Amino acid sequence: MSKRPAAAKRRSTRPVTKIPSKSLTRSKGRARRPVNGPKVARTVAALRAALAPYRAAGQSIALVPTMGALHRGHIALVAEAKRQSKRVVVSIFVNPTQFAPTEDFGSYPRQFAADLKALTDAGVDAVWAPTAPVMYPDGFATRVAPEGAALAGLEDRFRPHFFGGVATVVTKLFTQVRPDVALFGQKDYQQLRVVTQMTKDLDLGVKVIGLATVREKDGLALSSRNAYLSSADRAAAPTLHRVLKASAARIKQGEPIAMVMEEGAAEIGRAGFAVDYLEARHAITLAPVESRGDGPIRLLVAAKIGKTRLIDNLGV
């Protein structure tokens, strides 16, 4: 009998360990795709690589920008994005530049695993989830400073840092993803007006679509910050929408806007809120209005109950 070759004698008898399929998708500069889920990109290079096949095929791309902690309102945006475009990208990035030092950046809800599952169920094609150092690397020195609706004296009066942070990050998201369409909820109405005007002014080539606010059965606008509400505060929270509806009806009937706003703010205060503003504004420019003849009207409110600040709005 012939002897076994020397190489065969040295062959290991240990079992071969198979590399899990998930780990095979992790590589530098390449998006990772969870099993049966969207591609997940965490660097600009990985994002561009993930979207390149869609562009090569001439497929349209919609972007839904979010800060995560997704709810039915976000999923409604995704559903509309799928109707608008062949491919859908959702960004998840809690943007530090739109939070003041005293605000809730550190405690803002973060639930990436749950968000990814929801987006997988919704049929999203890609998730853009950069870290702050990726979005704002060392030496980052450029800011977008919007005017117009960003200086309307609503959110900007109480959060003067906010729209500069929003405008800068949205501009970056648009140049990173290069979508054909971007979808935003109307709950953040002043933000929607700022982003719409900025996109037009800077010729960013993105169609901005605002989708109607999704609400709970009792009228409360869906928000990731609703998770902060105590049971007592949650019971009082629908007051905002109820007052908006009643105020809009009174204005349609011809009652003086100033009186309606004053009485509405008082009702919100009696429900336990500290009111920042309840105002009637031009629906496009957000300039103050005194009568129905001043143009299409939007009612906007911001108020704090307990530790939670809520915003809402409604057209007249």
User: Which residues are identified as catalytic?
Assistant: 74
The residue with tokens 């550190």 is 106
User: Residue written as tokens 């309606």?
Assistant: 260
b/e sequence 115-142, b meaning 16+ C-beta within 10 Å: bbebbeebebbbbbbbeeebbbeeeeee
DSSP string, 223-245: -GGGGG--HHHHHHTTHHHHHHH
d(CA 233, CA 303): 12
* CB-based burial, 177-186: b 16+ in 10 Å, e otherwise: bbbbbbbbbb
Q: Please, are residues 274 and 286 in contact by the beta-carbon 8 Å criterion? A: no
Q: For residue 316, which of 253, 263, 269 has the smallest C-alpha distance?
A: 253
Euclidean distance between CA atoms 154 and 265, whole angstroms: 15
Q: What count of other Cβ atoms lies within 10 Å of the Cβ of residue 196?
A: 19
Tokens of 291: 């009568």
Q: Crossing angle of helices 162-177/44-56, nearest 10°? A: 50
Task: Count Cβ atoms below 10 Å from residue 36 Cβ, excluding itself.
Answer: 6
